[in-house]
Each structure stands twice: as C-alpha cells, then as structure tokens.
C-alpha cells in the first residue's frame, strides 16, 4: 500500500502532527506499506535510508503545483490531509483524475478551533474536511464534534501516542521550590496568560513557559509580568524534544490552560515523565484522569485551586505522577500505531460508497 503523508518531517520540526506522522510511519509494517513524506531542509535522520520510506524535498517555489502533482501520482491513500490549496484542488477534481486515491483527514482538535481563523483558512477547511473520503477523530469528543459541526461520522477513533521508553521520570524530584510547567505555542488560545495569573497567585512556585513565540502576544505576556513585578516567571522559548524531556523531568506540575484541544501531546509526554497535569475539561481529553492523574477543571478559579493543591502537597504530586505514568502506558506508540495501521488497511479496502470491498 502506497501512502502519501501531507506533513513535513524535518528533524527540527516540533509541530505535533509532524512528530505524530514520524512515529506512525516508523512503526508501519514495511512489508505492506510504502510511505512518502515531505521535508524542507533536513529530514528526521530515523527516516533516512529506511526501508518502506520515501522522502521528497519540498521546493522553495511552486509548492502547491508540486504537491498537487504528487497527489495525482496514483497513491492508495493520502493521509494527514491538510487544509492547503493543493488538497482543496485535489478534492475538487473529477474522481477519474484522482485515479482511485482515497483521502484521509485526521481530526485532532475540535472543528471550532478554526472559527476565528482568517477567511481563507476557513474557506479551505470547509472545502477539504467534508469532501475527504474518510475522517478519523482523535477522541470520542472530537468525533461527536465532527458529527455536530459538519454531519460527518468518523470511521475510526485514533488517539496519538508517546514513546514511554524515551519519556521517563527522573530517579527523584527534589525541587525545593515547585516548578509549574507550561509547554505550547505562545498564543492567546493556548492560555499562557492564565499561567501568568497563576504565578501572581503562587509566588512560592516557579512558572516556566516553554514554546515558540508567535506574533506580538508574547510582548503582552512580558508586559503583564512587569506590571505584576513577578520574579517567578521564566520564558524559555522553543525547545527540542530531548530538551523537553529534561525540562519535564526538572518540573513538578504541567499546567495547560487551553480550552480547545484533542489529546494534547504535551499531556501524554508529561504523564510519561511522571507529572500530574491540570487541564480544562472542555474537550474531555482521555490523557488526564480527574482526581487520579491530575485535574480536569471547569473554571479559572478551579484551575487556580488545583494548581495550589499540587504546589502545596508533595505527596499528592508524587501519587498523581505515579498514576499518570501507569495510565499513559496504554498510549505507548507501539500500541497506538498498530491501531493506525489497521485503520489505513480498512479505509483502503472501502469502496467509494463506503462499503467494505470483499
């Protein structure tokens, strides 16, 4: 089976979809699958000269035409379909020109996440997702969201995973001052502004914000830190995956105040390193079990209360961290990727009408 994945797999790309695609492809049965992947500068070295993996360098010019031409090359599946002009054009071509290729869109966050996007992004999303041959969803919540938003029933629920052999807890956590970690892009939707407010409430803890800065919002955060005269906030900028593992081992709590997610990759990684997590329950992530591996909260006040409990109680942190490490074992990539492989085989075996081909 020939699969084209529409995700860049550069070694320095820390985008969640890029990381997910690499882990999936590395675990597909290479006797049954040939995976084609794009890169811009330097591909993940694990993929270079790997059997069953074909790497294509993305050109600096005419990308849409190059990608569209590759999409028309007779693949069995095009996976991780994106909301790009190339995907839009491909899906609106006559089926005869698409040569029987099936497209798979993976819904990894609520559809509403795109509501506030620029009009072109919304136009492309509305022209791609409903027209794909198959949709999968990362959680039951996202599956129901797809049904409600575009009346589309996903064919499979496919979670993402974590390498539990790579993300491991430290031998012991011995911070005299608890470290509360935020990891994510510094944009308003991710909620780093609420981390700053938590830092003001709890001066007896250090709040470490790790992630890429996007736009001018980071200046708003820095100005708020100055206004509040906070001495317990650290802005770390983006970090590589090996660096993130060490940062998580050096932390005591993960705080993710975003309200629109699927399964936040960072919560799986934090759990694997033994960190309790505080998240909002809006998107019902299965990566955090309320009152067991952390807290799922409904309001900002509940968020602050949960963070306060974890900061003040080392034994609670240790108990929830151990439970998190045990819980996340079911999300190990070796187990999760097997579900993706089965889903790809089943989607490829369906006819254009959705019926299973004998």
Tokens 């906030």 locate to 233
Lookup: tokens for 260: 């629109």
SS3 at position 13: coil
Lookup: tokens for 141: 């919540």
Establish how many alpha carbons lie within 13 A of residue 140's alpha carbon, considering only the half-sphere containing its beta carbon.
Answer: 3
The rounded distance, in Å, linking the Cα atoms of 34 and 52 is: 4
The rounded distance, in Å, linking the Cα atoms of 22 and 12 is: 12
pLDDT the model gives residue 358: 37
Counting other chains too, the contacts that 126-130 makes at CB distance below 8 Å and 24 or more residues apart are: 127/88, 127/91, 127/92, 128/81, 128/82, 128/83, 128/87, 128/88, 128/91, 129/83, 129/105
Lookup: tokens for 7: 């995700």
Provide the H-helix boundaries in 253-299. Answer: 265-272
pLDDT (tens digit per residue) in 128-140: 999 999 999 999 9
Query: In order of start, what are the domains of the chain with their CATH numbers?
Result: 2-161+333-348 (3.40.50.2000), 179-331 (3.40.50.2000)
Provide the H-helix boundaries in the chain. Answer: 16-27, 63-71, 85-91, 95-98, 119-128, 140-150, 192-201, 217-228, 241-249, 265-272, 300-312, 314-327, 333-348
- Determine if the pTM surpasses 0.85: yes
Q: Is 41 exposed, middle or buried (0-12, 13-18, 19+ CB in 10 A)?
A: exposed
pLDDT the model gives residue 215: 86
Q: Is 216 exposed, middle or buried (0-12, 13-18, 19+ CB in 10 A)?
A: exposed
The rounded distance, in Å, linking the Cα atoms of 240 and 301 is: 32
pLDDT the model gives residue 137: 96
By DSSP bridging, strand 253-256 and strand 53-57 are unpaired
In terms of Cα–Cα distance, which of 317, 307, 294 is closest to 175? 317
Q: Find the length of the chain.
A: 358
DSSP conformation class of 355: P
pLDDT the model gives residue 15: 87
pLDDT (tens digit per residue) in 12-31: 998 889 999 999 999 999 99
Lookup: tokens for 105: 């869109």
pLDDT the model gives residue 115: 58
What is the chain's pLDDT, residue by residue, as a tens digit (358 residues)?
999 999 999 999 988 899 999 999 999 999 999 999 999 999 999 999 999 999 999 999 999 999 999 999 999 999 999 999 999 999 999 999 998 999 999 999 887 665 567 888 889 999 999 999 999 999 999 999 999 999 999 999 999 999 999 999 999 999 999 999 999 999 999 999 999 999 999 999 999 999 998 888 989 999 999 999 999 999 999 998 899 999 999 999 999 999 989 999 999 999 999 999 999 999 999 999 999 999 999 999 999 999 999 999 999 999 999 999 999 999 999 999 999 999 999 999 985 445 443 3
Provide the H-helix boundaries in 203-273. Answer: 217-228, 241-249, 265-272
């Amino acid at each position: 089976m020939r699969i084209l994945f529409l995700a860049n797999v550069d070694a320095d790309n820390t985008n969640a979809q890029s990381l997910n695609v690499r882990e999936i492809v590395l675990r597909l049965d290479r006797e049954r699958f040939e995976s084609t992947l794009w890169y811009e500068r330097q591909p993940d070295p694990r993929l270079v000269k790997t059997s069953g993996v074909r790497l294509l360098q993305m050109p600096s010019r005419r990308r849409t035409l190059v990608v569209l031409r590759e999409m028309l090359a007779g693949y069995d599946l095009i996976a991780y379909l994106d909301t790009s002009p190339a995907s839009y054009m491909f899906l609106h071509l006559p089926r005869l020109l698409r040569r029987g290729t099936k497209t798979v869109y993976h819904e990894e966050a609520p559809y509403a996440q795109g509501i506030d996007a620029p009009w072109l992004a919304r136009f492309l999303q509305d022209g791609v997702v409903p027209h794909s041959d198959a949709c999968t969803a990362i959680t039951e919540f996202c599956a129901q969201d797809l049904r409600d938003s575009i009346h589309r029933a996903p064919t499979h629920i496919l979670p993402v995973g974590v390498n539990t052999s790579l993300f491991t807890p430290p031998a012991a956590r011995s911070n005299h001052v608890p470290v509360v970690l935020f990891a994510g892009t510094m944009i308003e939707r991710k909620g780093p502004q609420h981390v700053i407010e938590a830092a003001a409430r709890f001066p007896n803890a250090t709040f470490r914000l790790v992630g890429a800065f996007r736009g001018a919002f980071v200046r708003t955060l820095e100005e708020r830190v100055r206004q509040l005269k906070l001495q317990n906030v650290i802005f770390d900028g983006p970090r590589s995956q090996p660096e993130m593992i060490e940062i998580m081992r050096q932390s005591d709590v993960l705080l993710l105040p975003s309200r629109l997610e699927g399964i936040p990759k960072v919560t799986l990684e934090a759990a694997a390193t033994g960190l309790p997590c505080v998240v909002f329950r809006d998107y019902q992530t299965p990566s955090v079990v309320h009152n067991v591996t952390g807290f799922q909260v409904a309001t900002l006040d509940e968020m602050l209360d949960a963070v306060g409990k974890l900061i003040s109680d080392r034994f609670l942190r240790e108990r929830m961290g151990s439970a998190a490490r045990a819980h996340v074992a079911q999300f190990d990539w070796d187990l999760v990727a097997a579900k993706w492989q089965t889903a790809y085989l089943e989607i490829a075996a369906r006819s254009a009408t959705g019926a299973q081909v004998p």
